[in-house]
Amino acid sequence: MADPAKDTVCVPAALSGYQILCDPRLNKGTAFSDEERDRFGLHGLLPPNVATMDGQIARRLTALRSFSTDVERYSFLRDLQDTNETLFYGLLSNNVKELLPIVYTPTVGAGCRHFSQLFRRPRGVFLSLPHRAHIRQILANPHFDRTEVIVVTDGERILGLGDQGVGGMGIPIGKLALYTACGGIAPATALPIFLDVGTDNEYILKDPLYVGWRHSRVRGQEYDDFIEDFIAAVHERWPHVMLQWEDFAKSNATRLLERYRDRLCTFNDDIQGTAAVATGTLLSAINVTGVPLTEQRIAVFGAGSAGCGIAALIMAAMIDAGLPAREAARRFYLVDRDGLLLEGMPDIASFQRPFLQPRDAVASWQRSGDRIGLLDVIENAKPTALIGVSAQTNAFNETVVRAMAAHNKHPIIFPLSNPVSCAEADPADVERWSEGRAVIGTGSPFPPLMRGGESFSVDQTNNSYIFPGVGLGAVATQAARITDTMFMAAAKALAELSPAKRNPQANLLPPVTALRDVAISIAVAVGKQAVAEGLTSGVTADTVEAAVHAKMWTARYRPYRRAGAND
């Protein structure tokens, strides 16, 4: 049973009633009880009626629904988060299906674009390059004492929207909202960080309201030194913190992950989280298509951070399933701006190398031009699955989808790019062009499809199914590192939860309303894998589940007492 004394919040003696109302971590608004109003001098600062959290949620929901645009709803929710965090999470957790598309993709993309216009109150940490010498001092702020999870970006590749400068801070804020709502990470332990190294986005540089550092993006050694100083300071301040890299550009994402993955507990969500959700969803799709993993051929459109991460984890799963490594490598067709990635091509990045097709393997292919385009790949290699992570709107057009459908009874088609405006296809079109045979997953939410006269929800194949659980598992077990095998455990745990496992007509993924349960299952699987790899302290395989549950925070008002008071 919960110990009521431990569940009480201790309010620092120095804080006045007004300060408590202005602190988003402490504020309960009209829900402060009469005893608390006596104790903290809140009478008169609030209207007299004492509200319940349910009543407050109902009021906020009515207000939220009265707005005419999603950006207004986003702004309203961000305001609530910055004035009463507990209520924000109560509202979000009770209304995940309705509010996830606001705090996360697609609306968070607009939130990033309008960040400077919408900016009201501070949240998280802004570290700008001109203040490089003060990183330690900034992080030393006692407000950040309880930090356990960091999401950091430099804003250069925000969803498929490109360089958003300081507006990119909307992404760590949104990701951490899901960490709390879905992964049970206490909000006071979650810290969004923006590394401001400038921006090359001319439009926002000219915006008089821009709140970021008005400077072109700093690159090269100066950038690397700044990141190094940042990581050293983070490690010194919070030696056990878990740090998630988010929305870094292709030129930095893998490089930084490789540099730091053995120095602290860290992962890149776009590479590894996306890989796990794509692999888990593909494993689930096998229940529908009946084509075993070892017989799959995978076309990936967009051979960047996400594309290569996805290919690497699916390849590892194929090898696990018994396919020889050389054979597994030949099953991947990665298509980028210059067409299919081939041996001997110039400007190949190190992370693309494992997936180059040999020239002789394609020598006899019929092709429509000099380069081997996506359609050439589909017509010649006849992939069983097509995954889009290119941010190229409508790249999966009617010809592409019809070609996939011509070669497969049930083509797997995952347009994963975000937000909606960057998706490679609209699932309604994929459904129509494939005559209802495609197995579809999208990165952002889309309206349901009609199948057999019934509404069928589109599986949101987004790393939000993975990172809250990975983070929770890592933090609950105090894992020293996060490994690729932990992501494989996450992918397999997700596939185990697939409704299609029991009924091939059903969805590939559990609904977004089940994200908290998904996070628990993934956290337990990831935690056990961390234990098996000797990366944890103080837990065993038998105690992982209890550790995960013990770590989880829920949005409810706890009773308050003054520090030092013995009531």
Ligand X SMILES: NC(=O)C1=CN([C@@H]2O[C@H](COP(=O)(O)OP(=O)(O)OC[C@H]3O[C@@H](n4cnc5c(N)ncnc54)[C@H](O)[C@@H]3O)[C@@H](O)[C@H]2O)C=CC1
Just list the catalytic residues.
104, 175
What is residue 151's three-state secondary structure? Answer: strand
Interface with ligand X includes 113 (CB under 6 A)?
A: no
**156 touches Mg ion by CB under 5 A:** no
Min dist. Cβ of residue 369 to ligand X (A): 14
The region of 152-160, 165-173, 182-190, 194-202 touching ligand X under the rule CB under 6 A is 152-160
Give yes or no for residue 261 binding ligand X (CB under 6 A).
no
DSSP for 320-347, written as a single string: HTT--HHHHHTTEEEEETTEE-BTT-SS
Q: What is the CA radius of gyration of the chain?
A: 24
Minimal CB distance residue for ligand X: 304
- 416 is a site residue for ligand X (CB under 6 A): yes
Q: Within 10 A of 384 (CB to CB), how many other CB atoms are there?
A: 25
**Nearest distance from C-beta of residue 414 to ligand X, angstroms:** 8
Answer yes or no: is 418 a known binding residue: yes
Burial class (CB in 10 A: 0-12, 13-18, 19+), 255: middle
- Consecutive H or E run containing 193: strand 190-196
Between residues 170 and 212, which has the closer beta carbon with respect to ligand CC(=O)C(=O)O?
170
Residue 302 binds ligand X, judged by CB under 6 A: yes
List CB contacts of 134: < 8 A, sequence separation 6 or more.
none
Pairing of strands 560-562, 149-153: unpaired
Contacts of residue 97, Cβ cutoff 8 Å, sequence gap at least 6: 511, 512, 513
246 is in an annotated binding site: yes
Q: Does 417 engage in binding with ligand X (CB under 6 A)?
A: yes
Is 462 annotated as belonging to a binding site?
Answer: yes
Nearer to Mg ion, 36 or 247 (CB): 247
Partner whose footprint covers residue 303, from ligand X, Mg ion, ligand CC(=O)C(=O)O, none (CB < 5 to 8 Å by kind): ligand X
Residue choice 160, 172, 280, 415 for contact with ligand X (CB under 6 A): 160
Using CB under 6 A as the binding rule, the residues of this chain from 353 to 382 that contact ligand X are none
Q: Any bridge partners for residue 279, and if so which?
A: none
Q: Residue 270, interface with ligand X (CB under 6 A)?
A: yes
254 binds ligand X (CB under 6 A): no
Dmax over CA atoms of the chain, in Å, equals: 83
| Closer to ligand X by Cβ: residue 357 or 478 | 357
Q: Exposed/middle/buried for 164, CB within 10 Å: 0-12, 13-18, 19+?
A: buried
- The reply on whether position 303 binds ligand X by CB under 6 A is yes
- 284 near ligand X (CB under 6 A): no
Q: What is the DSSP string of 437-457?
A: --EEEESS--PPEEETTEEEP
Closest to ligand CC(=O)C(=O)O by CB, 391 or 413:
391
Q: Total residues at the site for ligand X (CB under 6 A)?
A: 29
Neighbouring residues of 391: CB distance < 8 A, sequence distance ≥ 6: 159, 160, 161, 302, 417, 422
Three-state SS at 513: helix
Interacting residue ranges for ligand CC(=O)C(=O)O, rule: CB under 6 A: 159, 247, 269-270, 418, 443, 462-463
Please state, in angstroms and rounded to a whole number, the distance separating the CA atoms of residues 223 and 380: 43
Closer residue to ligand CC(=O)C(=O)O (CB): 17 or 111: 111
Residue from 85, 154, 196, 270 binding Mg ion (CB under 5 A): 270
Compare residues 305 and 477 and give the one whose CB is closer to ligand CC(=O)C(=O)O.
305
Binder of ligand X out of 111, 167, 280, 307 (CB under 6 A): 307
70 in a labelled binding site: no
HSE-CB for 321 with a 13 A CA cutoff? 16
Residue number with the smallest Cβ distance to ligand CC(=O)C(=O)O: 418
User: Would the annotation count 270 as a binding residue?
Assistant: yes
* 90 phi and psi angles, rounded to 5 deg: -60, -45
Binding residues: 157, 246-247, 270, 418, 462
Binding residues for (S)-malate: 157, 418, 462
Positions in the binding site for Mg ion (CB under 5 A): 247, 270
